[in-house]
Amino acid sequence: MPRRVLDGVLLLDKPLGLSSNDALIRAKRLYLAKKAGHTGTLDPLASGLLPLCFGEATKFSQDLLEADKTYEATMRLGIRTTTGDAEGEALETRDVVCDEPAVLKALAGFRGDIVQVPPMYSALKRDGKPLYEYARAGQVVEREARPVTIHVLELLACALPDVTFRVTCSKGTYVRTLAEDIGEALGCGAHLVALRRTAVGALTLEHAVTLDALSDADASARDAWLQPVDALLSTFPAVYLDEESARRFLHGQRLRLSELPQAANTTLDLPSDLPRVRVYTQDKRLLGVAKMIDGVLAPDRLVVTAS
């Protein structure tokens, strides 16, 4: 069947046991979409929110790669593994002698700005080769500690040796490593046994759909699950342009907002410098995103389908 030109965002609830790329391929096939991409991988052992971008939405997927993520995770104390999760082989077993107050105290020590050493079983590259390839060959290479931010870290359940917590963290955070480091702080080690992503930036599981539900739905029902392209941009301030200004914007011209008819009234309350704004016509058609520099709107990424 012919492929469709499709623009939008699908909030997928990825199942366990499936890679992010496999989930993308299945969704793309169901939608018969010409162009699609995902916004950051979830391991096969992780489930939860995987936003998929179709068509023009792929231009803005980087913004979600940069966004904070929220997870619900369960770690098992007392056992360290080769991979930091349940997929690896046990490296060491220790007695678990801590209690819930000790767990709460340990969690408090990992909130805020911290540093992590990336795990060997990760896709980070050294000399053009992913670290996991070195790990599978039995090699350990030196990794530099990297700063990350833990915005929220709260205990959800403590049924020792299992501890379930919720974490909201900056990009680049490895929850496996966080679990291992908390285990070391408790003196018994730990590994991750369950991980579910519940939010990416402002997007949540609330409106997500499973692959099974998509497979069972007809084409019109599947299309109804698609969010508009600007679902990825909801945290950016909005700027609205009159018809002539919109035409100039789509041609890549920089615009001084204070000199534009109709536009100034919609942007008087915005700072003169912003890293990203979403730009619309007066009838709320998305034109793209721009940077605001000294009150000048500088086009960044444009939506081709806008006219």
Residues 6+ apart with CB under 8 A from 135: 82, 120, 121
The structure's pTM equals 0.89
181 has catalytic annotation? no
The Cα 75–Cα 97 span in angstroms is: 15
CATH number of 236-302: 2.30.130.10
Residue 65 pLDDT level (bands cut at 50, 70, 90): confident
Q: Any idea which fold 69-198 has? A: Pseudouridine synthase (3.30.2350)
Q: Where are the domain boundaries for CATH 2.30.130.10 in the chain?
A: 236-302
- Cβ–Cβ < 8 Å for 44, 216: no
Which candidate in 43, 85, 181, 230 is catalytic? Answer: 43
Closest CA to 49 of 213, 197, 212: 197
pLDDT tens per residue, range 119-143: 766 667 777 777 777 767 676 777 7
User: Under CATH, domain 8-67+202-232 is a member of which superfamily?
Assistant: Pseudouridine synthase (3.30.2350.10)
Burial of 226 (0-12, 13-18, 19+ CB in 10 A): buried
The Cα 169–Cα 282 span in angstroms is: 36
Query: Residue 130 has what pLDDT?
Result: 73
Query: Residue 306 has what pLDDT?
Result: 47
Q: Where are the domain boundaries for CATH 3.30.2350.10 in the chain?
A: 8-67+202-232, 69-198
